Amino acid sequence: MLGLSRREFLLGSAGTLSAFAAGGFAARQAQAAEHALTLSSLDHGILPDTVTKAMMSFAADGPPPVLRLKQGQKTAIEVTNALDEASVVHWHGLRIANRMDGVPYLTQNPIETGQAFRYEFTPPDAGTFWYHPHCNTLEQIARGMTGMLIVEDGEDPGFDKDLPLNIRDFRLGSDGQFIDFYKPRNAARGGTLGTVSTVNWQVEPDFELEAGSLVRLRLAVTDLTRVGTYAVEGAQALVIALDSNPLPSPVPAADITLAPGQRADIALRVPDGEAADVRLVRRKSGGDKVLARFRPAGASARRDLRELKPLNPNPVPEADLNNAEVLDFVFGWSPEGNAPRPSICGSLGYTFWSINRIAWTGDAPGPLDPLATLKQGKSYILRLRNESPNAHPIHLHGVSFRLLNSNKRKLPPLVTDTALLLKEETMDVALVADNPGDWAFHCHVIEHQKTGLTGFLRIEG
């Protein structure tokens, strides 16, 4: 190996691996990955007549592909890292084996430049999910790395079309180039907002849809920071699922609050007339922001929303509230403000936030204590207390939970993986600890996540 560069060594070891394929590994290696993602940097046009340099994607030539998987069916996703930095991929909302969860050091080593990692898992739930890096997360997401992941149910609810809408901002100057991804003073408050709103990497795209048809709009807010209220206007539209879990009774798609990481599935009945102006908007004082338009085309398909079959609930176990143990978590400032440890997965250099007064010390190797240890199979109530004046979408990996109650508002009894805690809100949520492993537990405002508001729960088998 003398004289070999590190890169040659890496490539060399890949060669050795394929040599092994002739042996006992053969069956597994021979089975082609059903999906392949290449983590890539690229130049791509976001604003008209400009090319944004140094974007990042899960494909070499454009926006991240929509991954379509099947509920209960094993899949393989071969991830190759062609970036000049390390990365790792997390599948947001999927209740899969811990070693496939894509969190650096907690579940796997970062995938270094030139290396590949094969993710293999069976998604137990159907619905709208997304995927993103969990290494140098702020910069890699800021540059573009958020993709949508759809898990299809075996049963067809009766839609004519399925349209994923990846909603996010970029922080671009008027020349179309990236400006600073965040400002430290904002990271210590609500976070830094983007300057250009996009849907599927496009500014205010137009989607032509068959007049009179039924379309499943799948909204995913994959932004770093922005909490918003969304609506579909100019047509009949019903919210049928939130965070991949069906609503017991659909509600009009008029005021849907979504924080980073959250999703909404909407059943849209496209109007009959080609003159109709159907819009996806985000509420804004002084006039809503139009994010996308839907244009009816052709003769009416004459469909009716009542023709849709209800979605099947996902097989998420119900907590036994009479025997559940209560675990307390407080989300607030960092008591000490120590600089985080340096990490190949990036550090903002500041610590502003904490969970239970402990600030995450960076995505670095070395043993860390869980915030709590849960016993597999037992029920728990997590009491989530936000003592800060800022909103925090709290995301738990590996396990879904049900919203129980809040000291601030009446909560629908939704099942989710990401709970939005408003200013000074305390919320109880319930879960069954059915998936063993070390599960990341963090705020999905990435500036908060990267400046301390991260920890993990251990479920002991």
Q: Partners of 52 in the beta sheet?
A: 44
Is there binding between residue 395 and Cu ion (CB under 5 A)? no
Is there binding between residue 216 and Cu ion (CB under 5 A)? no
Looking at the Cβ atoms of 90 and 450, the one nearer to Cu ion is: 450
Q: Residue 319 is encoded by which pair of tokens?
A: 């907590």
Kindly provide the b/e burial profile for residues 75-111, where b requires at least 16 CB atoms within 10 angstroms of the residue's own CB: bebbbbbebebbbbbbbbbbbbbbebbbbbbbbbebb
Looking at the Cβ atoms of 110 and 455, the one nearer to Cu ion is: 455
Looking at the Cβ atoms of 116 and 443, the one nearer to Cu ion is: 443
User: How many C-beta neighbours within 10 Å does residue 39 have?
Assistant: 26
Contact 195, 230 (CB under 8 A): no
Member of 95, 392, 395, 402 binding Cu ion (CB under 5 A): 392
Shortest distance, position 190 Cβ to Cu ion, whole Å: 8
Is there binding between residue 92 and Cu ion (CB under 5 A)? no
Looking at the Cβ atoms of 6 and 357, the one nearer to Cu ion is: 357
Q: How many CA atoms lie within 13 A of 385 on its CB side?
A: 10
Is there binding between residue 443 and Cu ion (CB under 5 A)? yes
Is there binding between residue 448 and Cu ion (CB under 5 A)? yes
Site string for Cu ion, 343-382 (x = CB under 5 A): ----------------------------------------
Shortest distance, position 456 Cβ to Cu ion, whole Å: 16
Site for Cu ion in 44-73 (CB under 5 A): none
Binding range to Cu ion, per CB under 5 A, among 278-286, 289-297, 318-326, 392-400: 392-400
Member of 266, 355, 445, 446 binding Cu ion (CB under 5 A): 445
- Separation of alpha carbons 389 and 352, rounded Å: 14
Binding range to Cu ion, per CB under 5 A, among 161-169, 170-178, 265-273, 443-451: 443-451
Site for Cu ion in 174-193 (CB under 5 A): none
Binding range to Cu ion, per CB under 5 A, among 257-265, 321-329, 342-350, 390-398: 390-398
Using CB under 5 A, list all residues that contact Cu ion: 392, 443, 445, 448
